[in-house]
Amino acid sequence: MSKNEKEEHLAIGVDLGGTNIRVALMNKMGQILQEGSRLTEAYKSRDYIIQNMIKMINTVKGDYQIKGIGVGSPGPINQAEGRILDPPNLKSLHQCPIVEMLQSEFRDIPIYLENDANVAALAEARVGAGAGKKSVIYITVSTGIGAGIVIDGKLFVGAQGNAGEIGNMIISEKGPQVANLNTGALEALASGTAIERVGRERLGIDGGAKEVFALAMAGDSVALKIVEEVKTYLSIGIANLMHLLNPSIFVIGGGVMQSGEWLLPQLREKTSHLLFPSMRSHLMIEPPMLDHKVGVIGAGLLVFT
């Protein structure tokens, strides 16, 4: 590591998840130099979790001078206050002033907080599948559905930081009404939770998207119909975003897409048919490149925005 890199161009990324905390020392190119992970133990107290995080940061930091610490957390968050609000899988950290708590330990180091979908989008846009592209929309299809928008290398978060909440985008007025989502919202129709619900209702199974996809690949007609519906709903959502923002590329990740990565070519074709003919040749839908490190890399890159 060069002297300049040691003094000026290092950051620490923290990926705070419901299951694991990942921490990495990295440079502005997203290259990880030191890293560590441990269980979040989300059932334990706020102080226990934050102190664990501080220990991990100090371990990877060593005696290096760093430019800042970026934290990616499940939303919702209040970025202006540096506070985690009420993510379902981190109940111990509800209303947690995480930036203030970290700042009390790392007094002279700037702390940055962003939601996990946005940091994943930043990572894929800067050093992943969207590298070199002018505009990138990263969509995660997992337990829920969300998106991050990166334009000219910078996150677009909207007036109150809520840009990208596409899970609540209305896709079908005849769709289900689930939790606090709109009736017929994309997340209620095509997320992992939605696929699990429909699989239970129509197939009597509890294996979630993975089992539905396996049955579809084996030729089960009911499972095939469920998968076809999911592709339709996702393609409508992507087409809406294409007409609205016309990004250079869509990067689609998340647990559902990992289980059904074979869906991607069909999703491209289905989406293409919903676009103006002149836009079809410009549609790019690709899988992510950074896998499970996307969160920690994106968190570190917050420091260099």
How would you classify the pairing of strands 249-253 and 135-141?
Answer: parallel
Q: What's the pTM?
A: 0.87
Give the pLDDT score at 89: 76
pLDDT tens track for 46-63:
999 999 999 999 999 999
Q: Which CATH class is domain 131-288?
A: alpha beta
Cβ proximity of 196 and 204 under 8 Å: no
Domains in the chain: boundaries: 3-119+293-304, 131-288
Q: Is 171 helix (H, G, I), strand (E, B) or coil?
A: coil
Domains 3-119+293-304 and 131-288 share a fold: yes
Phi, psi angle pair for 224, to nearest 5°: -60, -40
CATH number of 3-119+293-304: 3.30.420.40
The residues of the chain scoring below 70 in pLDDT are 1-8
Do the Cβ atoms of 119 and 299 come closer than 8 Å? yes
* Amino acid sitting at position 2: S
Q: What is the 3-state secondary structure (H, E, C) of 184-243?
A: CEHHHHHCHHHHHHHHHHHHCCCCHHHHHHHHHHCCCHHHHHHHHHHHHHHHHHHHHHHH
Tell me how far apart the alpha carbons of residues 248 and 234 are, in angstroms, rounded to a whole number: 18
130-133, Cβ contacts within 8 angstroms, sequence gap of 24 or more: 130/248, 130/249, 130/251, 130/286, 133/247, 133/248, 133/249
Q: Please say whether the beta carbons of 227 and 213 come within 8 A.
A: yes
